[in-house]
């Protein structure tokens, strides 16, 4: 017997937000979070710098999936000023270090999707993905059901990464 459907309810919110794509009106979800007045704990922001910040991905590929992005809403790398660019990449490196300490992955993927066609669901606000990986972390759930299994709540992940963030 083959199971043909697995319920994956959290995807509905992601799909609804992703459908607006670059044609959306108003601020990106990241800018909305920054302007919301929520605390860093409530918004899962794990680090704030002068020009950039790091936040947990609300729809992670794996536990510890961090996004690093400028406060300023820009869509292309070449739109960053020199200070933003330097701090962005330094913060990506800090994110990798923190994740290696907090979650001890076997490897880490670092990537960026520039533009909707490249896979950027929020392409108007450039963000770099820092994704911890473990041997055998992909299984049938992702390949046949578009579902991920995550062993800890985002709040616990954020706490661990904040505690491991390099000074």
Lowest mean pLDDT among 93-97, 101-105, 111-115, 147-151: 147-151
In the set 47, 65, 103, 127, the catalytic residue is 127
Tens of pLDDT, residue by residue over 26-83, are 889 999 999 999 999 999 999 999 999 999 998 888 899 999 999 999 999 999 999 9
- Please provide residue 46's backbone torsions phi and psi, each rounded to the nearest 5 degrees: -105, -15
Active site residue 127: yes
Whether the per-residue pLDDT at 127 is higher than 50: the answer is yes
The mean per-residue pLDDT over the stretch 98-124 comes to 89
CA dihedral 125, 57, 107, 82 (to 10 degrees): 30
Nearest to 114 by CA among 95, 93, 131, 128: 128
> What CATH code would you report for 26-164?
3.30.428.10
Which residues are CB-neighbours of 54 under 8 A, at least 6 positions away?
A: 45, 46, 47, 66, 67, 68, 69, 91, 94, 95, 130
d(CA 91, CA 66): 11
* 105 neighbors 133 (Cβ within 8 angstroms): yes
Instruction: Specify the pLDDT at position 117.
Output: 81
Q: What are 45's strand-pairing partners?
A: 55
Q: How confident is the model at residue 13 (pLDDT cuts 50, 70, 90)?
A: low
d(CA 144, CA 163): 35
d(CA 70, CA 77): 10
* 91 neighbors 45 (Cβ within 8 angstroms): no
């Amino acid at each position: 017997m083959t199971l043909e459907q697995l319920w994956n309810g959290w995807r509905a919110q992601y799909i609804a937000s992703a459908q607006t794509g670059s044609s959306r009106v108003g601020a990106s979800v990241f800018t909305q979070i920054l302007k919301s007045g929520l605390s860093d704990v409530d918004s899962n922001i794990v680090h704030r710098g002068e020009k950039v910040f790091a936040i947990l991905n609300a729809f992670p590929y794996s536990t510890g999936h961090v996004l690093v992005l400028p406060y300023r809403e820009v869509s292309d790398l070449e739109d960053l000023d020199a200070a933003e660019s330097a701090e962005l990449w330094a913060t990506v490196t800090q994110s990798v270090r923190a994740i290696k300490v907090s979650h001890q992955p076997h490897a880490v993927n670092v990537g960026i999707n520039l533009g909707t066609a490249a896979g950027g669901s929020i392409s108007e606000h450039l963000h770099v993905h820092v994704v911890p990986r473990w041997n055998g972390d992909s299984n049938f759930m992702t390949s046949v059901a578009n579902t991920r299994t995550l062993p800890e709540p985002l709040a616990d992940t954020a706490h661990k990464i904040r505690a491991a963030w390099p000074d």
